[in-house]
C-alpha cells in the first residue's frame, strides 16, 4: 500500500501542496524554537539566557505541535473528502479499510517527511534571527553562539511526522465511517469553554494593575470564549440566517445555500472567529501594556520583554496557520462546487451572478466570524484595560481590529472569488456531467 501511496502522490503533487505547506511551516517553527534548547544547552551559557531560551522553546514549541496537528488534519480532511470517489473505487477493487487507512497515512507521512526536510534550512536561518532578537533586547547574553543541534532536528521531524500520521488517521476514519452527530457533547464542550472564558475574563479584576500575570487571565479568557463561540458556530450561523433577507437573485441563493450548508461551513467559521479573537485580543493588550510601561517611565524587565516577544510570535504563528487553513478549506470547498455552479448556470445564472452568490456567502461568513471573534476579543480587552489603565476601550483597539478584519475579509473573499472564477472556466455542460 505504501508504494501505491507514493505513486498517488507522484501523480497529483498539486493536491498535497496544502499539506506540504502546513507540514513545512510547522516543522520550520518547531525546529526554529527547539534550536533554542540546543543553543541553551551549550557549555558556558549563563542561567538568565538559558532561562529565556528555554521558556521560548517550551511555550512556542507546544503551541507549534498543536498547530501542526490541526493544520495538517484540516488539509488532510479536505484532501480525503475530495478523494472520496477514488477511495470508494479502491474499496470496490478489494482494498480493506485498514489498507486504505495505511495508504492515506503513508501518503501523509511521506509528504510530512519532505516538508520537514525542506524546513531545516529556513529553520536554521529563523533560529539565528530569533537569537539576534533576544540579544538585541538584552534578554540573552551577546556571547551566546547559535547552535542547530539534535534536539531541534529530532523534535522537528518527529513531531511533524507524528502529527501528520495522527491527523491522517483521524481524517480517513472520519470519512470511511459514517459520522454520528454528537450534538450533545459538542454543546457541553461549548458551554464549558464559554464558562471557563467568562471566569478567566472576570478574574482579571482580582489582579492589580502592575501584576506581571495580569495579561494571562483575559487573554486565555478571550481564547476560551472564542473556542466556545466556534463550537456553537453552526447554530449561531443558522440563527443569523433565519433572520437574514438579502435582495437580488444572488443574495437570495446565497442565504438559502448557507442555511443548508451551515454544518459544512462551520469549519471556516471556526477559523474566522478564532483568528479575529486571538489576534485582536493579544495584539491590543500587548500594545496597551507597552504604552502603560512607557508612560510610567519604567524600563521593562527581561520577563516582560520575553512575554512581549512570545505574545507577538505566538500570534504571528497562529495567524499564519489559520490563514493557511482558511485558504485551503475555502479553496477546496469552492472547487468542490463546480457541479453546483454548472447547475446554476444552466438554470439561467450568468457567471457574474454565480460570483455574486459566492461573494455574498463569503461576506456573510466574514461578518458572522468577525462579529463573534470581536465579542470574544472585547471580553478580554475591556477588563484588561480597565484594570491596567483608567480607560475602558483602548485607542489601539480600532487600528488593530481594522487590520485583522481586513486580513480576514481579504483571505475569505479573495480565496473564494478567485477559486470560483477558475472553476467557472469549465463550460457549464461539462461541469454538470457525471464524473467519468
Instruction: Answer for the pair 26, 118: CB distance below 8 angstroms, yes or no.
Output: no
Residues 6+ apart with CB under 8 A from 220: 197, 200
Task: Using the minimum distance from each CB to other proteins, give the nearer residue, 254 or 274.
Answer: 254
Consecutive H or E run containing 395 = none
- Minimum CB separation of residue 339 from other proteins in Å reads 9
Binds other proteins by CB under 8 A, chosen from 353, 363, 389, 417: 353
Burial tier of 296 (Cβ tally within 10 Å: 0-12, 13-18, 19+): exposed
Q: Binding to other proteins by residue 259, rule CB under 8 A?
A: yes
If one asks whether residue 352 binds other proteins (CB under 8 A), the answer comes out as: yes
- Rounded distance, CA 311 to CA 317, Å? 10
Q: Nearest Cα to 22, choosing from 60, 79, 62?
A: 79
Q: Indicate whether 429 belongs to the interface with other proteins (CB under 8 A).
A: yes
Q: In angstroms, rounded to a whole number, what is the distance separating the alpha carbons of residues 29 and 58?
A: 12
Ramachandran region, residue 245 (left: φ > 0; alpha: ψ -120 to 50; beta: rest): beta
The single residue among 47, 295, 434, 436 that binds other proteins, judged by CB under 8 A, is 434
According to CB under 8 A, which one of 348, 390, 435, 436 is a site residue for other proteins? 348
Nearer to other proteins, 250 or 366 (CB): 250
* List 115, 217, 342, 383, residue binding other proteins (CB under 8 A): 342
Q: Between residues 77 and 344, which has the closer beta carbon with respect to other proteins?
A: 344
Candidates 253, 283, 288, 358: give the one binding other proteins (CB under 8 A): 253
What is the Cα–Cα distance from 324 to 25, expressed in whole angstroms?
Answer: 10
In the complex, least distance from residue 79 CB atom to other proteins, rounded to whole angstroms: 23
- Residue 257 as a binder of other proteins (CB under 8 A): the answer is yes
d(CA 320, CA 380): 22
Q: Look up cell 469552492; give the residue.
A: 334
Stretch binding other proteins (CB under 8 A), from 102-110, 170-178, 287-295, 345-353: 345-353
User: Would you state the cell numbers that stand for residue 415, as one nine-digit string?
Assistant: 480565496
Q: With respect to other proteins, which residue has the nearer C-beta, 74 or 338? A: 338
CB 293 within 8 A of CB 282: no
CB 351 within 8 A of CB 345: yes
Q: Interface with other proteins includes 98 (CB under 8 A)?
A: no
Interaction of residue 416 with other proteins, rule CB under 8 A: no
Q: How many residues bind other proteins (CB under 8 A)?
A: 27
Site residues for other proteins per CB under 8 A: 249, 252-253, 256-257, 259-261, 340, 342-353, 427-429, 432-434
Amino acid at each position: 500500500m505504501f508504494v501505491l501511496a507514493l505513486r498517488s502522490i507522484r501523480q497529483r503533487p498539486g493536491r498535497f501542496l496544502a499539506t506540504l505547506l502546513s507540514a513545512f511551516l510547522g516543522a520550520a517553527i518547531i525546529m526554529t524554537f527547539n534550536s533554542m534548547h540546543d543553543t541553551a544547552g551549550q557549555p558556558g551559557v549563563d542561567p538568565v539566557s538559558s532561562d529565556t531560551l528555554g521558556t521560548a522553546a517550551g511555550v512556542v514549541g507546544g503551541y507549534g505541535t498543536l498547530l501542526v496537528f490541526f493544520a495538517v488534519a484540516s488539509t488532510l480532511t479536505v484532501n480525503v473528502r475530495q478523494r472520496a470517489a477514488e477511495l470508494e473505487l479502491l474499496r470496490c477493487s478489494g482494498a480493506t479499510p485498514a489498507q486504505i487507512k495505511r495508504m492515506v497515512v503513508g501518503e501523509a507521512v511521506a509528504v510530512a517527511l519532505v516538508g520537514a526536510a525542506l524546513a531545516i534550512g529556513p529553520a536554521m536561518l529563523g533560529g539565528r534571527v530569533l537569537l539576534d532578537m533576544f540579544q538585541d533586547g538584552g534578554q540573552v547574553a551577546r556571547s551566546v553562539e547559535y547552535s542547530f543541534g539534535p534536539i531541534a532536528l529530532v523534535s522537528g521531524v518527529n513531531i511533524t511526522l507524528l502529527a501528520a500520521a495522527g491527523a491522517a488517521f483521524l481524517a480517513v476514519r472520519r470519512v470511511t465511517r459514517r459520522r454520528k452527530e454528537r450534538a450533545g457533547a459538542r454543546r457541553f464542550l461549548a458551554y464549558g469553554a464559554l464558562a471557563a472564558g467568562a471566569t478567566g475574563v472576570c478574574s482579571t479584576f482580582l489582579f492589580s494593575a502592575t501584576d506581571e500575570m495580569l495579561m494571562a487571565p483575559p487573554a486565555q479568557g478571550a481564547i476560551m470564549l472564542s473556542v466556545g463561540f466556534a463550537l456553537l458556530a453552526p447554530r449561531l450561523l443558522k440563527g443569523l440566517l433565519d433572520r437574514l433577507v438579502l435582495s437580488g437573485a444572488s443574495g437570495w441563493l446565497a442565504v438559502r445555500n448557507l442555511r443548508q450548508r451551515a454544518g459544512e461551513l462551520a469549519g471556516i467559521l471556526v477559523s474566522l472567529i478564532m483568528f479575529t479573537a486571538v489576534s485582536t485580543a493579544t495584539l491590543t493588550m500587548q500594545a496597551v501594556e507597552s504604552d502603560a510601561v512607557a508612560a510610567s517611565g519604567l524600563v521593562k524587565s527581561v520577563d516582560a520583554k520575553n512575554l512581549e516577544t512570545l505574545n507577538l510570535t505566538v500570534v504571528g504563528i497562529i495567524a499564519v496557520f489559520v490563514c493557511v487553513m482558511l485558504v485551503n478549506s475555502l479553496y477546496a470547498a469552492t472547487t468542490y462546487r463546480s457541479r453546483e455552479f454548472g447547475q446554476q448556470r444552466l438554470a439561467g445564472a450568468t457567471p457574474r451572478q454565480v460570483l455574486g452568490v459566492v461573494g455574498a456567502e463569503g461576506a456573510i461568513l466574514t461578518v458572522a466570524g468577525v462579529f463573534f471573534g470581536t465579542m470574544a476579543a472585547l471580553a478580554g480587552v475591556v477588563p484588561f484595560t480597565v484594570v491596567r489603565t483608567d480607560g475602558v476601550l483602548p485607542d489601539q483597539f480600532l487600528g488593530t481590529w481594522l487590520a485583522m478584519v481586513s486580513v480576514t475579509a481579504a483571505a475569505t473573499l479573495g480565496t473564494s472569488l478567485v477559486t470560483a472564477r477558475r472553476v467557472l472556466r469549465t463550460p457549464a455542460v461539462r461541469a454538470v456531467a457525471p464524473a467519468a
